[in-house]
Structure 1
Amino acid sequence: MSAPATPGAAVPSLWQPYTHRSHPEAERAGKESLAWLGSFDIAWQPGHFDTIRSENAGYWWNLFDPGAKDYERYRLGVDFISALYPFDDTYSGPYACASPAEAVAWAGQWMRLLDDPRFAVRCGHPFSAPLIDVMRRAAAMATPVQYRRFADAVKAYVTSLAWEFAGQDRSVRQRVAEAAACRFYTSGCTGIVGILHVSHDLDISDETFHHPLWRAYTEAAVLILALYNDLYSYAREQADTPDDVNILAAAVAEGRGDLRRGLGRVVTLHNQAMERVVHLGARLKKHHPAQARAYTQAIEEMLAGNLVFGRTATRYHGGEPALPPYTLTTTPPPTIGTIEIPTFAWWWDTGRAAPRTG
């Protein structure tokens, strides 16, 4: 087990062993995606679309999925992230309009919507139309298995929003383990990883993908993405929406208000999850080289690109400078320890076993 960061101690170096790259059509896709988003009959609040335009989520997707199979599949991801920004804004921040009761109702409606082959289920969420368009296009270009991987991941995100924004669970705001479990879903990162099955046209059977080793690898990657989200959105959320669930905010609360200590706790958790990604990824490539190579490469590029996004994106309004000083490293820290979050322990411990072949 690892010792928690102590007041005044240096923040551990954040371990990022992977290298990011960019999609060559980033500018074109970002512009097309903004035009696509503006084409829907949506009652935007004053200033909201201008904010979305300035944040230009579609452009930033080039760092998330640079290896998409073709432009059509790449644009699917671009439009997905473009749709997620205003969808998420509905729940908190200056453009929030959802009541707790609506958050619960929309969660239920989206559960059915994502299982409806005609996408005809009515949903009252004001930004449903763009996301439905993305899901309809995904269903048309993907195999049934690929679509379910994506749709189930989006379902986890949409339904979990009721937990964060309609629930009265204070522990998710005050305890790192509970916050990490919540943000694993509500950050939207399950969907961001789930779309890779469609955008890369991955052929991975259910029997293979649901083996604990694959599940553990995927969960570790999703947690890292959620940690990046919360590290770099921390300053903005503390200023605008301090009651939002944020893993760093929970770490600061556990550390009695010490931001440096809280950051050290989150960076340590990040490095522990990264060790799992590196270790489990190597095992996947060994046991299932043909199927695992494309998936792990896509995950690795997404992790590297998402870190760059978090540190520089307009949406986070300078979240990086607001954090205590820390460094990045490409080599594993000498002492990492093991993850101490029970939610993830079963999959990650069991994931040390080799998968069946065939």
Structure 2
Amino acid sequence: MMAKFTKPILVFAALLIFTQARSQELSQGEAVPKGAIVYSLPSTSFRVTAEAVRESFVAGPYARFAQKYLGIQAREESGDFYTLSSVQLVSFVEADRTSNIALNLGNSRTASANFLEMLSQGLIMWSDSNTGKNNNARFPSNQGKNSFDKTQAASNLTNVSTTLYKTVQTASGLERVPVQQSQVVEKSIEKKAEEAAATIFRLRTKRMEIITGETDATFSGDALRAAIDEINRLEGEYLSLFTGKSSFDSQKMSFDVVPVKENPRQIYVAFRISETQGLLGSDNMAGRPVVVELVREEPASKAVNMDLTAEKGRVIYRTPAIMSARIMDGQTLLLQTRVPVYQFGQVLSFPLEVATGK
């Protein structure tokens, strides 16, 4: 009689063991148990989006005469010059590839509900979870640089008088007689610069006369505005022959940074910037480094003593640590913000069979 009761009890106990939620940590290359799902602990990564302004500068043909004829300093070398204009830091969560955990939920609705709830809160993640963001490519080289206006008020030619001597037979003997010879030649660069500077001063004088009314013609309303605008345009064109011309565009790139808990110093080179090459990767030594520095906020939370044994019907999860993230360009602070970083946080466990009331 006792044996009849014992057999159903043993079958029921075996059924409970088979349907109980169980989990185990998987090592690299280990096979996934039959009927189990695989999840990972969350990990925080950073995407640094930087934008630089590129100035494409073409030096003026009369740049070396700017100090002499206009009293101003002008750059004499053409080139592309970059300056960092903005930096943005975005954190995103992805699966930690180093922490794969196999979990068999069994037939427990409570375990399935708790697992999905922790998944929705980001405490655990599917092992193949990824944000899949695309990187921005560098902009193409600017082929059409601004050229200087070829028109000018004065002629490109000038008359040059030269005194030549010829020998003439006279009563007293041979004598050298001067002969004037005139020829048309091309003006020198300095002569053109002198004339351009004179035109600039004439335009400025004429503009002052129009504004003060010291002219024979009368300007008013739109006519006055149009005259002043045209004089300003002409002055700018002639002045650019000395100061050069610049065109501006922007370069935007994104760089990923993955913090590693084991690093003794949480300082990572996000990217580099060069004044002549623009935004560069972290491994390109041609530019100065721009770094991301992570500092744990104090006081740090105390470690919780919990049972992290995976086999006992518990789900392993990870809570983030709050860090202060700074982006530094040398000694210059570009950005500072507070961010949660999961891999620096605590690993805890939760019994899946406990009803949460949801």
| Shorter-chain TM-score range | under 0.3
TM-score, with length taken from structure 2: 0.21
- Higher share of residues assigned helix: 1
Structure of greater relative contact order (alpha carbons < 8 Å, 6+ residues apart): 1
- Higher share of residues assigned strand: 2
TM-score, with length taken from structure 1: 0.21
